[in-house]
Chain A
Amino acid sequence: MIKAVLVLNTQGKPRLAKFYEFRPVEKQQELIRNVFSVLCSRAENVSNFVDAESIYGQDARLVYKHFATLYFVFIFDSSENELAMLDLIQVFVETLDKCFRNVCELDVVYNYSKMHSILDEIIIGGQVLETSSTEVIKAIEELSRLEAASNSINLVPKSVSGWRAR
């Protein structure tokens, strides 16, 4: 089972944090800090696996991938295949790339809830839901379409903020 999905930037700021097992907020932050301190000390050409037992507890493994200014981190237990998790990170990143057209850190920051929606189409409750980025994007597009179609009040704040931003 996947226990957590984290996206951190190279300064250690969390950009996405999703825990599939309950953890109090303070623990989550502590974990993020610990993960970052391990990741930033690793060299460029080493393996993508880190023993996470000291960070997350018994039987925890961690796999990460480094893209530009972001670390994508999956924490999971021994029932998952490490190499498959590495591929899953790839799927997640590919999906983001297709959604945002060359994803960058700013996209991730400003589209926080969309990131969550995408992740929810890939993983539910720590289990892998879908591994095809095309399928995921189809689902996300449906959501966006519905969102736009419904006569929503969220147009109001947008216009207000647009007016204020000037």
Chain B
Amino acid sequence: MNPFSMGTSLRDMIRAIRACKTAAEERAVVRKECASIRDAINENDPDYRHRNIAKLMFIHMLGYPTHFGQMECLKLIASPGFPEKRIGYLGLMLLLDERQEVLMLVTNSLKQDLNHTNQYIVGLALCALGNICSAEMARDLAPEVERLMQFRDPNIRKKAALCSIRIIKKVPDLAENFVNPAASLLREKHHGVLISGVQLCTELCKVNSDALEYFRKKCTEGVVKTLKDLANSPYAPEYDIAGITDPFLHIRLVKLLRVLGEGDADASDSMNDILAQVATKTESNKVAGNAILYECVQTIMSIEDNGGLRVLAINILGKFLSNRDNNIRYVALNMLMKAVIVDAQAVQRHRATILECVKDADASIRKRALDLVYVLVNESNVKPLTKELIDYLEVSDQDFKGDLTAKICSIVAKFSPEKIWYIDQMLKVLSEAGNFVKDETWHAFIVVISNASELQGYTVRALYKAIQTSTGQESFVRVAVWCIGEYGEMLVNNIGMLDIEDPITVTESDAVDVVETTIKCHSLDLTTKAMALVALLKLSSRFPSCSERIKEIIIQYKGNFVLELQQRSLEFNSIIAKHQNIRSALVERMPVLDEATFVGRRAGSLTDTASTPARPSVNLPNGVSKPSASPLVDLLDLSSDDAPAPSSSGSDILQDLLGVDLSPASQQSGAGHAPKSGTDALLDLLSIGSPTAQSSPSTIDMLSSSMNGKTPVSPLDDLSSLSLSARATSNAGAAPVMDLLDGFASNPPKHEDKGPEYPSITAHESSSLRMTFSFSKQPENPQTTVIQATFTNLSSNAYTDFVFQAAVPKFLQLHLEPASGNTLPASGNGSITQSMRVTNSQHGKKSLVMRLRIAYKVDGQAKLEEGQISNFPRGL
């Protein structure tokens, strides 16, 4: 390196950086440069300051830290020379930001430069202020800027106007100072000043309603006149773009008119004529002309109603749509999206053209058009539109299919006129793009199928036919396998034949073939295979003749490397081999889920996705979790009283129904309880419950939850934990199936339908005492729950000195109110109530838990009851 120079020149540095072949080389060069710049800064050498900042600006653009140069910028700005100031201000705008305190130091220099005799230095200062002005600077420098708006040189006036925009955005209180100078700018003849003045007025109207009122009254006419002069003006070459006179000024003026006309009939009225003139006279074969038309349409749509103008506007958009220029079509779609709200009927007329745009080669246009089509769908046009979209699905790009599928599914679910149509469309979508269908969509589809008893035969046959040709779509295969498992006998016996169907001959072994192919297919994932195993188990009971063959298939998986499949295989095998007597009951058809409840739950769960725990589930990768109770788990409510706190995992109704819950949902709970082992114990337990409503998927569910349990599988662990979580959750839902088995439970939760949001629970019950909790919540404060505890004496002796105490873990805060009394009359002839307030800092992540201690005296003898409450409704 040359000993006499401070590093390299800017040009040489850029050249060196450009010569770098790798990022590492570039870093090395930059590091070296930065080191020498730092040295120069430390030596406080004024000669190279100018060059160093120019270098730092370049380095900054490449993404390297340059904060050490900030003070140098200030020094440059404070120096007298013009080139120094210029680079100083450029550096200031790039290297600094308004959050940094260095900026406080610059205010004084800016003030001096704003008053400088050299107007170019004033211009530099205005430009910097317009870009980086902070609120403090705005207050300090507003008078200077205001004064400069009347400066003799137009270049300064226009910069001052734009600078004021920044100032009033930072400190809206200052707006009133600028109203008068801004209004006088509207009378300017100079193009640049006029354009920035119009922008300033527009911004003033946005931040200050008084300003809006003022401009509306005093300036509407003037703006209309200016626009009229402009529209009628002869050719002005300097502002001409492609033959259109000054499109930017046109656009700004029309935009200001929009702000003035919005919500004011008089002002809107006065601009009708000129808008109509601009809309009809502007040439539409150039981008610049279309830009004006586009702005004009936006204004017509926003100002107060004028039927004729709106028709004109929508027709302009229609013309845009058929334009060959992609940009024009793009903005037309954008605008139609807004127009739909104003006049859906008029937009409907262009439906066919819009639909064509969905198939455009340009991704931006496709996306806009699809959004628009989605808004345009209604009951009357849903069938042809869906047909078009599904037809297009076959040929669309892979990366567009996701969007398209989601929209089709949503349209079909929302507007389907009849169930059979819905089923047909879903079949098409699933077989065409099943991999893009979200889990909740095909879950919902299954719920619909299970509800449509007269269409189940039709559906399963259609699925059977379709799966012969389409096997690559995961969720399609899942639905098909589930239906074949559930409705296998309808498939082979042609039950529920509709008139439109051709009868097909399917033997029992054909049906088993399909499932067998699925389970052996390598490309399908664990969930699908697990579902296929369940289907096989079901078919083994539905098709006795194939029972042996199914057993053979199932047994092949007893050594599978995937624990889940291995476990299912072993358990199902033992069900087939040893438990013929209960098998048919175990594999009965799934109870019908209430559609409304399911949809409602889904809606509910979607709204508070943020607050609910996303369970670590393999088949819900999008994190949509469902906090609702699981009726099926409830079916097994064999309640254990003294179990530890339940895990916070939610049991999802459909997951369980489908037997696909492979997540280690209950891993935190229950380990170490009733350590018996062997499947037999489990099966015995299962058969205690109800011989009718048991179903194997739930069995699986319970078993699968032990996946994470260590060493020997002890189903009872899981049973206890499951029934526990069932208790914890059972109160939240209202599905009719829920209560089926409650009678069998040793300690059934009580359902009271009082609370709209959370039902009451029996928090504690012994032979002598019952405590019920009812819950209420203020919607604005979801973390806090008010619990009303009611104590009832079940014995025949009165209790005195009754004291209730409660303790909660650290993530909760508990506040106990005084109790209503301390004596409890015998035999339920009265009660004590006490309310408490619990704040859950982990709301949505953890459920409430509480330990309690109740002390009282019976005939002077102290009694103590303790317990833990873990059956709080979810979501508290």
Q: Do A and B actually bind?
A: yes
Given A46-B364, A116-B90, A83 and B331 touching (CB < 8 A)?
A: yes
* A143 B90 Cβ-Cβ under 8 A: no
* A84 B295 Cβ-Cβ under 8 A: yes
Residue of A nearest to B6 (CB): A157
| B159: contacting residue among A86, A88, A128, A129, CB under 8 A | A129
Interface extent on A, as a size class?
35 or more
* A124 B127 Cβ-Cβ under 8 A: yes
Docked pose: A86 CA to B713 CA in angstroms: 67
B441 close to A (CB within 8 Å) = no
* A14 B62 Cβ-Cβ under 8 A: yes
* B8 A152 Cβ-Cβ under 8 A: no
Q: Which chain A residues numbered 1 to 53 have a C-beta less than 8 Å away from chain B?
A: 14-18, 20, 22, 25-26, 28-29, 32, 42-43, 45-51
A150 close to B (CB within 8 Å) = yes
* B251 A125 Cβ-Cβ under 8 A: no
B21 close to A (CB within 8 Å) = no
B542 close to A (CB within 8 Å) = no
- Interface stretch, picked from B227-235, B285-293, B429-437, B630-638, is B285-293
B9 close to A (CB within 8 Å) = yes
B586 close to A (CB within 8 Å) = no
B257 close to A (CB within 8 Å) = no
Which residues of B sit under 8 angstroms from A69, Cβ to Cβ? none
A17, A42, A88, A112 — most chain B CB neighbours (10 Å): A112
Q: Which chain B residues numbered 254 to 305 have a C-beta less than 8 Å away from chain A?
A: 255, 287-288, 290-291, 294-295, 298
* A83 B291 Cβ-Cβ under 8 A: yes
Which residues of B sit under 8 angstroms from A109, Cβ to Cβ? 14, 18
Residue of B nearest to A61 (CB): B334
B598 close to A (CB within 8 Å) = no
| B50: contacting residue among A25, A83, A142, A153, CB under 8 A | A153
Which residues of B sit under 8 angstroms from A158, Cβ to Cβ? 9
Which residues of A sit under 8 angstroms from B5, Cβ to Cβ? 157, 160-161, 164
Given A47-B327, A113-B54, A129-B158, A83 and B294 touching (CB < 8 A)?
A: yes
Which residues of A sit under 8 angstroms from B66, Cβ to Cβ? 25
* A129 B162 Cβ-Cβ under 8 A: yes
A68 close to B (CB within 8 Å) = no
* A160 B295 Cβ-Cβ under 8 A: no
Which residues of A sit under 8 angstroms from B120, Cβ to Cβ? 142-143, 146
A47, A50, A120, A152 — most chain B CB neighbours (10 Å): A47
Q: Which chain B residues numbered 118 to 141 have a C-beta less than 8 Å away from chain A?
A: 118, 120, 123, 126-127, 130-131, 133
* B287 A152 Cβ-Cβ under 8 A: no
* B248 A22 Cβ-Cβ under 8 A: no
Docked pose: A50 CA to B366 CA in angstroms: 11
B163 close to A (CB within 8 Å) = yes
B811 close to A (CB within 8 Å) = no
Given A14-B61, A87-B241, A112-B57, A47 and B364 touching (CB < 8 A)?
A: yes
A77 close to B (CB within 8 Å) = no
B362 close to A (CB within 8 Å) = yes
B744 close to A (CB within 8 Å) = no
* A125 B83 Cβ-Cβ under 8 A: no
Docked pose: A134 CA to B237 CA in angstroms: 10
1/0 per residue, CB under 8 A from B, across A137-159: the answer is 00100110011001011101110
| B294: contacting residue among A20, A81, A117, CB under 8 A | A81
Docked pose: A38 CA to B82 CA in angstroms: 41
Docked pose: A134 CA to B192 CA in angstroms: 12
Which residues of A sit under 8 angstroms from B81, Cβ to Cβ? 150, 152-153
* B86 A157 Cβ-Cβ under 8 A: no
* B192 A130 Cβ-Cβ under 8 A: yes
* B61 A132 Cβ-Cβ under 8 A: no
Which residues of B sit under 8 angstroms from A161, Cβ to Cβ? 5, 8-9, 11-12
A22, A46, A152, A158 — most chain B CB neighbours (10 Å): A46
Q: Which chain B residues numbered 76 to 134 have a C-beta less than 8 Å away from chain A?
A: 81-84, 86-87, 90, 93-94, 97-99, 118, 120, 123, 126-127, 130-131, 133
Which residues of A sit under 8 angstroms from B334, Cβ to Cβ? 82
CB distance from A62 to the nearest CB of B (A): 10
* B199 A165 Cβ-Cβ under 8 A: no
Which residues of A sit under 8 angstroms from B791, Cβ to Cβ? none
Which residues of B sit under 8 angstroms from A165, Cβ to Cβ? 12
Which residues of A sit under 8 angstroms from B241, Cβ to Cβ? 87, 90-91
Docked pose: A165 CA to B2 CA in angstroms: 11
| B248: contacting residue among A15, A32, A47, A84, CB under 8 A | A84
CB distance from B733 to the nearest CB of A (A): 36
Which residues of A sit under 8 angstroms from B18, Cβ to Cβ? 109
* A125 B63 Cβ-Cβ under 8 A: no
* A147 B86 Cβ-Cβ under 8 A: yes
* B364 A49 Cβ-Cβ under 8 A: yes
1/0 per residue, CB under 8 A from A, across B8-50: the answer is 1101101000100000000000000000000000000011101
B329 close to A (CB within 8 Å) = yes
Docked pose: A97 CA to B328 CA in angstroms: 26
B793 close to A (CB within 8 Å) = no
B864 close to A (CB within 8 Å) = no
Docked pose: A164 CA to B12 CA in angstroms: 10
Docked pose: A82 CA to B4 CA in angstroms: 52
B476 close to A (CB within 8 Å) = no
CB distance from A153 to the nearest CB of B (A): 5
Given A81-B251, A135-B238, A154 and B330 touching (CB < 8 A)?
A: no
A110, A135, A146, A157 — most chain B CB neighbours (10 Å): A157
Docked pose: A45 CA to B63 CA in angstroms: 32
* B363 A150 Cβ-Cβ under 8 A: no
Docked pose: A81 CA to B130 CA in angstroms: 21
Which residues of A sit under 8 angstroms from B60, Cβ to Cβ? 25
* B131 A87 Cβ-Cβ under 8 A: no
* A46 B362 Cβ-Cβ under 8 A: yes
Residue of A nearest to B246 (CB): A131
Docked pose: A81 CA to B248 CA in angstroms: 10
Which residues of A sit under 8 angstroms from B364, Cβ to Cβ? 46-47, 49-51
Given A46-B362, A113-B57, A131 and B248 touching (CB < 8 A)?
A: yes
B367 close to A (CB within 8 Å) = yes
CB distance from A142 to the nearest CB of B (A): 6
Docked pose: A152 CA to B76 CA in angstroms: 13
* A47 B330 Cβ-Cβ under 8 A: yes
Docked pose: A110 CA to B2 CA in angstroms: 22
Docked pose: A45 CA to B192 CA in angstroms: 34
* B192 A129 Cβ-Cβ under 8 A: yes
* A127 B162 Cβ-Cβ under 8 A: yes
* B2 A113 Cβ-Cβ under 8 A: no
Docked pose: A152 CA to B83 CA in angstroms: 7
CB distance from B212 to the nearest CB of A (A): 15
Which residues of B sit under 8 angstroms from A112, Cβ to Cβ? 14, 54, 57-58, 61
CB distance from A41 to the nearest CB of B (A): 9
1/0 per residue, CB under 8 A from A, across B317-329: the answer is 0000000001111
Given A25-B63, A124-B162, A156-B47, A82 and B331 touching (CB < 8 A)?
A: yes
Docked pose: A82 CA to B252 CA in angstroms: 13
| A125: contacting residue among B65, B162, B290, CB under 8 A | B162
30 contacts between A and B (CB under 8 A): A15-B61, A25-B65, A26-B63, A48-B326, A49-B327, A82-B294, A82-B327, A83-B331, A84-B295, A109-B14, A110-B11, A125-B130, A125-B166, A127-B130, A128-B196, A129-B159, A129-B192, A130-B192, A131-B246, A143-B86, A147-B82, A152-B81, A152-B84, A154-B51, A157-B5, A157-B47, A160-B4, A160-B5, A161-B8, A165-B12
Instruction: Knowing that A25-B63, A112-B61 touch, tell me 7 more A-B residue pairs with CB under 8 angstroms.
Output: A81-B298, A82-B334, A84-B251, A112-B57, A131-B239, A132-B239, A153-B50
B contacts, CB < 8 Å to A:
2, 4-5, 8-9, 11-12, 14, 18, 46-48, 50-51, 54, 57-58, 60-66, 81-84, 86-87, 90, 93-94, 97-99, 118, 120, 123, 126-127, 130-131, 133, 155, 158-159, 162-163, 165-166, 191-192, 195-196, 199, 238-239, 241, 246-249, 251-252, 255, 287-288, 290-291, 294-295, 298, 326-331, 334, 361-365, 367
In the A-B complex, list the 4 residue pairs whose CB atoms are closest, starting with the nearest: A83-B291, A161-B9, A47-B326, A46-B362
